[in-house]
Amino acid sequence: MLAKEQPFLSLRDVAAGAEADLAHISSVSRRLRRGGLNTNSIPAPSLNFTDRNKADRLVWCELMQEHDEDYWATVIFTDEKIFRTTTPCKRYVRRPVGLRDNAHFTATRDASGHQTLHVWGWIDGTGCGELHRIIGRHDTNSYIEILEQVLLPTLQAMRPGAAPFTLQHDNAPQHTARATLRWLADHREGDSRLASKRFHGSSAVR
């Protein structure tokens, strides 16, 4: 059935493909709903994971299973986020009930906005750290500057006397650059407890 094979096809095109050009769109919609396809569903967003991405994430998860609650209490997760003022127009998909996250019925999103706000932040087992606004181009130098001038002073103020922690970030270029790795090495104390570099990089610093 054309409507099932191509869930993002418009109702008009479905009618044309079924040689039902004279049928009203609402009639086509009702017939599809009777067949178990909701014509007004908004597709769930999905990421384009390659087989390598999936394999790396599985390896990382298996490694992390070895750690207990005491370990995770010393882990600080950091990341960047861009907030945009505009969002893509709504797009609808026909899908059977219960298959919202099925890859066949999800849609990837890659939208740009007129105004953006780029921020960096961190969180650990005790709560949220400082949220820092990134102005201009975010590269290796700006990332190291954030670690040095935002992360460390904030930790000293919020977690005085805290034990060495594990800095957990993703595989973004500025996170894996040689200069960043040198900075992390210079600030490493004791067991680095490195995670899989192909998925996450980390370093124990104070």
* pLDDT value at residue 22: 52
Quick check: is 146 in a domain? yes
Quick check: is 68 in a domain? yes
What confidence tens digit (pLDDT) does each residue in 73-125 have? 888 899 999 887 765 556 677 788 888 888 888 876 655 546 778 999 999 88
Quick check: is 119 in a domain? yes
Domain count, the chain: 2
74 and 176 co-located in one domain: yes
* pLDDT value at residue 19: 61
28 and 123 co-located in one domain: no
77 and 127 co-located in one domain: yes
- DSSP H helical segments within the chain, as ranges? 2-5, 11-17, 25-34, 51-64, 69-72, 140-146, 152-158, 173-176, 178-186
**Whole-number Å distance between alpha carbons of 147 and 165:** 13
What confidence tens digit (pLDDT) does each residue in 33-60 have? 777 777 667 777 777 778 888 888 888 8
Residue 161 scores a pLDDT above 90: no
Q: Give me the residue label for tokens 């904030």.
A: 154
Quick check: is 71 in a domain? yes
Q: Which domain covers residue 11, as residue numbers?
A: 2-41
